[in-house]
Amino acid sequence: MLSRTHLAVAASAIGLGLGIVATAFAADGDQRGARGGKARAGEIDLLEREGSELSRAIDEHRTAELSGRYRELYSEARDLGAEPERNLLAASGEPRLPELSDAVGELREDVDDASDASAGGSGDFALAGGVSQATLDAIAACESGGDPTAVNAAGYYGKYQFDEGTWASVGGTGNPAEASEAEQDMRASMLYAQAGSSPWPVCGQ
């Protein structure tokens, strides 16, 4: 049988052992917690870097996509005599994405308007960009006295004395002298935007 002294010594030993184990677990937990904190910080840095790279890649892809669309629209607008005075992609430096996005939208509207006018739609017959009504009126005054119904026996018709082939080349149909004056103005402006005054070698001077 254990004496009281032996029991006291045994209890003290057990208590000391439990304290050592508890201290060891606490220390290990602190170390794992410290390591875990570092890992979490590293993971956040990595995610932020990857997110930034992904965002940049998306912007670059979108810029390339919009640049290609802008080139297509600019070519269409040029063919319709409605290209803007400034080619955004011809300027030095790469355009910013918001600026490019706005330019594509505006150019799309210009092409749509010019296409509708070229097809003889019911909308307004707006003049091609960069061509003034005063310039056209001076040509018309010389060619026909400004008469949209004028007919020349040599095969020239209307206010600007179009022949039928030239009229068709700017989207006109039928007899130019039978088209409205507004349509004749618009198609003359398209021709002027494409070829300058050369279609009117005398009156365009």
What CATH number should be reported for the domain holding residue 181?
Answer: 1.10.530.10
81 close to 193: Cβ distance less than 8 angstroms: yes
Give the mean model confidence (pLDDT) for residues 142-162. 94
97 close to 88: Cβ distance less than 8 angstroms: no
Give the mean model confidence (pLDDT) for residues 35-57. 67
Residue 171 belongs to some domain of the structure: yes
Residue 147 belongs to some domain of the structure: yes
Look at residue 166 and tell me whether its pLDDT is greater than 90. yes
| 156: β partners | 152
Write out the residue range of the structural domain in which residue 111 sits. Answer: 40-84+94-118
Residue 149 belongs to some domain of the structure: yes
pLDDT of residue 44: 67
What is the average pLDDT value for the chain, to the nearest integer?
76
Residue 123 belongs to some domain of the structure: no
Give the mean model confidence (pLDDT) for residues 117-124. 53
Residue 26 belongs to some domain of the structure: no
Confidence of residue 119 (pLDDT cuts 50, 70, 90): low
Q: What is the DSSP string of 123-168?
A: S--PPPTT--HHHHHHHHHHHHTT-TT-EETTTEETTTTB-HHHHH
Residue 34 belongs to some domain of the structure: no
Q: How many structural domains comprise the chain?
A: 2
Instruction: Please give the residue that has the higher pLDDT: either 127 or 117.
Output: 127
Look at residue 3 and tell me whether its pLDDT is greater than 60. no
Residue 110 belongs to some domain of the structure: yes
Q: Quick one: residue 171, left, alpha or beta (phi over 0 = left, psi -120 to 50 = alpha)?
A: left
100 close to 66: Cβ distance less than 8 angstroms: yes
Measured CA to CA, the distance from residue 94 to residue 87 in angstroms comes to 12
Cα of first residue to Cα of last residue in the chain, in angstroms, is 134
Say what the pTM is.
Answer: 0.43
- With H, G, I as helix, E, B as strand and everything else as coil, classify residue 172: coil
Same domain, 100 and 140: no
Residue 105 belongs to some domain of the structure: yes
